[in-house]
């Protein structure tokens, strides 16, 4: 008999079975044909989802070619909520503080991570909504020092920054049109970045962190737009990762240039607390 380890992940995306602290073991006879195994896995998934439904997630199975433990497990967390999130106002590079709900969310995710396998390092965007979230986690996980990296900042959205999103089309039509463009090389008027530039800088940052921390578990606190770019790097042909909620936990395994996702969009630490409702951002309108 063999065991299949399962973990919530986004559709179309691969993940590694290691560090499986919340996995479910399903006995599967190795003599079964592949079609029978697939059926059993699908039935098991349905039962597991019924007993412990995720927050709008689905599951996929994969294995990684990097099986000797020489990879980094990177726990990527979105910052806590801000007043601008709650108001639907675009932040981008503007330095907005956490609101009270965001501080509570940060405390809850910090408490959760402190009870999981050891964290070796904490990295963060240098914008204070991410940095304060990271500092809360670092203090709870052994008093670690937070390492800041501007490459983990949210996308610079130029003229749109500071505007309420629903009013942006009227107040800054050219920037709004550029923002909604399907061209990934489209800059935003007013010094804003293209999606290609955002992708390059944030994936390069995570790759550097992964190369430095092989065999370790580290936390990276960043922003919705950044995390969506990281998802795209790990799952270039997968479906959309959906909305990235405040303080959601997204676990990546980096083995050299190979990226896989172990879990995605986990906000179980916010269940039953009154802080699950997320403000604006984390999706295609992230900012």
Among 79, 93, 176, 223, the active-site one is 79
Q: Which parts are annotated binding residues for substrate?
A: 78-85, 129
CA distances, 145 to each of 38, 124, 179, 222 (Å): 45, 11, 36, 16
Q: Are 172 and 90 in contact (CB under 8 A)?
A: no
The Cα 112–Cα 118 span in angstroms is 12
The two tokens of residue 62 are 């994969």
CA distances, 57 to each of 80, 87, 135, 171, 175 (Å): 20, 26, 28, 36, 32
For this structure, is 154 an active site residue?
A: yes
Among 73, 93, 135, 154, the active-site one is 154
249-255 vs 258-266, strand pairing mode: antiparallel
**How many helices (H) and strands (E) are present in the chain, helices listed first?**
8, 10
DSSP-assigned letters across all residues of 255-268: ETTEEEEEEEEE-G
The two tokens of residue 154 are 């949210």
CA angle, residues 22, 69, 15, in degrees to nearest 5: 50
CA 90 to chain centre: 19
> Which one, of 77, 83, 108, lies nearest residue 95 by Cα?
83
Beta strands in 50-162 (DSSP E): 58-59, 72-78, 121-124, 146-148
The two tokens of residue 74 are 């990177």
The Cα 149–Cα 87 span in angstroms is 27
**Catalytic positions, written as ranges:** 79, 154
């Amino acid at each position: 008999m063999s065991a299949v380890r399962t973990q919530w992940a986004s559709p179309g995306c691969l993940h590694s079975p290691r560090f499986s602290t919340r996995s479910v073991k399903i006995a599967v006879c190795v003599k079964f044909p592949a079609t029978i195994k697939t059926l059993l896995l699908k039935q098991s998934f349905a039962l597991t989802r019924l007993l412990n439904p995720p927050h709008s997630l689905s599951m996929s199975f994969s294995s990684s070619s990097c099986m000797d433990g020489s990879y980094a497990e990177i726990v990527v967390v979105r910052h806590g909520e801000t007043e601008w999130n709650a108001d639907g106002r675009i932040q981008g590079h503007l330095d907005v503080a956490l609101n009270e709900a965001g501080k509570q969310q940060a405390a809850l995710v910090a408490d959760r991570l402190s009870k999981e396998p050891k964290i070796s390092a904490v990295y963060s965007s240098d914008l204070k909504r991410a940095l304060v979230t990271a500092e809360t986690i670092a203090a709870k996980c052994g008093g670690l020092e937070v390492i800041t990296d501007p490459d983990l900042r949210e996308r610079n959205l130029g003229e749109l920054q500071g505007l309420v999103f629903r009013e942006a089309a009227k107040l800054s039509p050219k920037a709004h049109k550029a923002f909604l463009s399907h061209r990934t090389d489209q800059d935003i008027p007013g010094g804003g970045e293209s999606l290609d530039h955002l992708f390059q800088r944030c994936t390069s940052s995570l790759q550097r962190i992964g190369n430095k921390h092989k065999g370790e578990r580290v936390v990276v606190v960043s922003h919705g737009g950044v995390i969506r770019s990281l998802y795209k790097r790990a799952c270039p042909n997968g479906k959309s990762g959906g909305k990235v909620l405040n303080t959601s936990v997204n676990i990546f395994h980096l083995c050299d240039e190979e990226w896989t996702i172990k879990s995605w969009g986990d906000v179980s630490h916010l269940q039953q607390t009154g802080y699950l409702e997320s403000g604006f951002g984390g999706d295609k309108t992230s900012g």
